[in-house]
Amino acid sequence: MKALLIVIPLLVVAVLVDAILMRLTGGARILDPFLIVVVSQAPHGRKSDAIFTGALAGLVQDLLASVVFGMHMLSKTCIGYAASLLSSRLIPGQPLTSVVLLAGGTIVEALVQWLAGVLLGQSVNTPTLGSLGLSLVLNVSIGLAALTLIDLVSRRRPRLASHARGR
């Protein structure tokens, strides 16, 4: 798995960034660096790589802080799968593609956690609309810069979608 050579250092950075942000904000989770890691891997590999990256990032996030263990793993796995499906239909390497994946990932995570909380009958820390909006803006703005930096450091080019040939 060549993707692990990129994912493991990104997860270490995400853990550090998350710890610093939690310290600075007094425990408010307004930026999700693990989401950025998942979205960074979705357009460049296969669906199985994106799902594995999502599950691994969610597991690490669950180990750090989770009300219900496995909640972040479930949401990040869903995001990885959805992002890999969606990125194959959008133009790779375009900023708008990254905006759609980051914004959609933020919303999907909130929805998955809310739905899982309802199904489990537990109160999960779902964000309010104001904090969800702030997270959306921060995840997209900081995520765009981070995705550009990740692509530069890993020196990879966006994968071009294959097109069907006419008969």
Helices 33-41, 71-87: inter-axial angle, 10-degree rounding: 40
Q: What per-residue confidence (pLDDT) applies to 123? A: 72
Q: What per-residue confidence (pLDDT) applies to 126? A: 75
Stretch 32-45: mean pLDDT: 88
Residue, of 105 and 29, whose pLDDT is higher: 105
pTM value is 0.85
Q: What per-residue confidence (pLDDT) applies to 166? A: 47
CB 40 within 8 A of CB 50: no
What's the CA gap between 151 and 14, in Å, rounded? 16
CA-closest candidate to residue 42, choices 164, 143, 131, 165 = 143
User: CA of 163: how far to CAs of 26, 88, 166, in Å?
Assistant: 49, 11, 9
Report pLDDT digits (tens) over 104-158.
Answer: 999 999 999 889 888 888 777 778 888 899 999 999 999 999 998 988 887 655 5
What's the CA gap between 96 and 127, in Å, rounded? 25
- Name the average pLDDT for the chain: 85
Q: In sequence order, which residues have a C-beta less than 8 Å from that of residue 46 and are 6 or more positions away?
A: 84
Q: What per-residue confidence (pLDDT) applies to 56? A: 94
Percent of the chain with pLDDT over 90: 47
What's the CA gap between 113 and 125, in Å, rounded? 8
Report pLDDT digits (tens) over 90-104.
Answer: 877 788 889 999 999
Q: 58 falls in which pLDDT band (50, 70, 90)?
A: very high
pLDDT at 49 over 60: yes
User: CA of 139: how far to CAs of 65, 68, 69, 131, in Å?
Assistant: 19, 23, 23, 12
Q: What per-residue confidence (pLDDT) applies to 45? A: 66
The sign of the torsion formed by the CA atoms of 140, 14, 81, 135 equals negative
